């Protein structure tokens, strides 16, 4: 059961846009993200998040800096990360960045921590992929202690020890909202529950309802650890347009080459139109008119007991007009319709 007020957000991986057929350069795309955050706030959305990637066509490699710009350009919308690769970040530096962001934004900062599905940051910052699990486990333990304790003494294998360390500026009491991103690992679900942290399900393919077992495991693990119920969110890809046909054709045009590249890099299935249409119908692509997308979101919110849904709205070379229209429709039409559907369902329980 959802125990928290429903929130609708946007995720960006900083993917470069096009404008009238011209590909924006990196600096233009950075400025576009700030503009889109303002648009998201005006449309009534609750959260604007930015990822962390280190590959051509992405400009989200310094998310805390970009989010600070977003914070100064907005007043209400919460600002955070759709993923922070904790394994290749230093927890002390991360604390400084997000305590500062939280101060700049007047308490609107949050983040999602992940182990990384894209691993370019490991060689870039001198980490060994064989330490994948150990890096995340140690750094999460340290980061949460830095958030929750005034002074920290800590010893591990991934960085220098700390002795009675105080950090400034301080986090708000208890730290900023920190979610654990999960792509399918039950161990990650249990880890989130052990720390009493909210769970963000990264559902990028297949039926979202297949994560129902993870949700059940999370609830059981929270209870066993003695923690109160925590929010559960979902991150998925999609586009909203004025009609189903427009949305379907627009997303296919820009999603297909990205999916084909990922298939070559990671061994995923080759994209084809039949599989694409199946994902639209029953899978994790939220593409369509406002009514179509709202009904699909409401279904997964009900089935998984979600309190938050974040739509990743950018994909390589998607025109800025299509991005802006998605933001506007998601905030002004989809989010209110989702809440209306959920409210009607609740009155009939």
Question: Consecutive 10-residue runs of the chain (349 residues): their mean pLDDT?
Answer: 79 97 97 98 98 96 98 98 96 98 98 89 94 95 96 96 96 94 93 98 95 98 97 98 98 95 81 94 97 98 98 98 98 98 79
> How many domains, in total, are found in the chain?
1
pTM of the shown model:
0.95
Query: Using CB atoms within 10 A of its CB, is residue 40 exposed (0-12), middle (13-18) or buried (19+)?
Result: buried
Could you give the CA distance from residue 101 to residue 210 in angstroms, rounded to a whole number? 35
3-state SS of the chain: helix, strand, coil percent to 5? Answer: 50, 20, 35
* Range(s) of the domain holding residue 35: 7-347
Q: Would you state the pLDDT for residue 3?
A: 53
Query: Using CB atoms within 10 A of its CB, is residue 172 exposed (0-12), middle (13-18) or buried (19+)?
Result: middle
If you count DSSP H runs as helices and E runs as strands, how many of each does the chain have, helices first? 12, 14
Domain assignment present for 107: yes
Cα Rg of the chain, angstroms: 20
Domain assignment present for 26: yes
Q: Which two tokens stand for residue 130?
A: 């064989």
Determine which helix (DSSP H) or strand (DSSP E) holds 24, and give its type and residue range. Answer: none
Domain assignment present for 182: yes
CB 121 within 8 A of CB 88: yes
Q: How many Cα atoms are found within 13 Å in the side-chain-facing hemisphere of 227?
A: 18
Domain assignment present for 1: no
Q: Would you state the pLDDT for residue 68?
A: 98
Q: Would you state the pLDDT for residue 206?
A: 93
Question: What is the three-class DSSP state of 323?
Answer: helix
Give the residue from 234, 193, 189, 191 showing the smallest Cα distance to 214.
Answer: 189
**Regarding beta strands 18-19 and 111-114, do their DSSP bridges make them parallel or antiparallel, or are they unpaired?**
unpaired
Q: What CATH number did the domain enclosing 249 receive?
A: 3.20.20.30
Domain assignment present for 2: no
Domain assignment present for 48: yes
Domain assignment present for 170: yes
Q: Would you state the pLDDT for residue 1?
A: 46
Q: Would you state the pLDDT for residue 127?
A: 94
Q: Would you state the pLDDT for residue 264?
A: 85
């Amino acid at each position: 059961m959802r125990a928290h007020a429903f929130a609708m957000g946007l995720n960006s991986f900083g993917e470069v846009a096009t404008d009238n057929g011209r590909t924006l350069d990196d600096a233009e795309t950075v400025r576009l993200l700030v503009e889109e955050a303002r648009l998201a706030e005006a449309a009534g959305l609750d959260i604007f998040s930015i990822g962390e990637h280190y590959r051509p066509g992405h400009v989200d490699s310094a998310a805390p800096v970009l989010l600070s710009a977003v914070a100064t350009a907005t007043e209400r919308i919460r600002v955070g990360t759709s993923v922070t690769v904790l394994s290749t970040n230093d927890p002390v530096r991360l604390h400084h960045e997000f305590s500062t962001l939280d101060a700049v934004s007047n308490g609107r900062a949050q983040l999602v921590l992940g182990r990384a599905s894209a691993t370019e940051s490991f060689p870039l910052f001198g980490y060994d992929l064989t330490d994948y699990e150990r890096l995340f486990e140690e750094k999460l333990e340290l980061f949460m202690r830095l958030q929750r304790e005034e002074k920290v003494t800590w010893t591990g294998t991934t960085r220098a020890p700390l002795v009675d360390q105080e950090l400034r500026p301080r986090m708000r009491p208890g730290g900023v909202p920190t979610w654990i991103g999960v792509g399918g690992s039950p161990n990650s679900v249990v880890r989130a529950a052990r720390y009493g942290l909210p769970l963000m399900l990264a559902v990028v393919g297949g039926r979202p309802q297949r994560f129902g077992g993870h949700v059940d495991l999370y609830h059981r693990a929270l209870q066993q650890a003695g923690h109160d119920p925590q929010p559960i969110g979902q991150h998925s890809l999609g586009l909203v347009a004025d009609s189903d046909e427009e949305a379907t054709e627009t997303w296919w045009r820009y999603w297909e080459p990205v999916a084909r590249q990922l298939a070559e890099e990671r061994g995923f299935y080759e994209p084809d139109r039949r599989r694409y249409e199946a994902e639209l119908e029953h899978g994790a692509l939220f593409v369509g008119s406002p009514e179509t997308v709202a009904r699909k979101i409401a279904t997964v919110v009900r089935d998984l007991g979600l309190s938050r849904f974040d739509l990743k709205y950018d994909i390589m070379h998607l025109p800025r007009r299509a991005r802006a229209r998605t933001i506007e429709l998601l905030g002004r039409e989809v989010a209110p319709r989702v809440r209306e559907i959920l409210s009607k369902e609740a009155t009939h329980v």
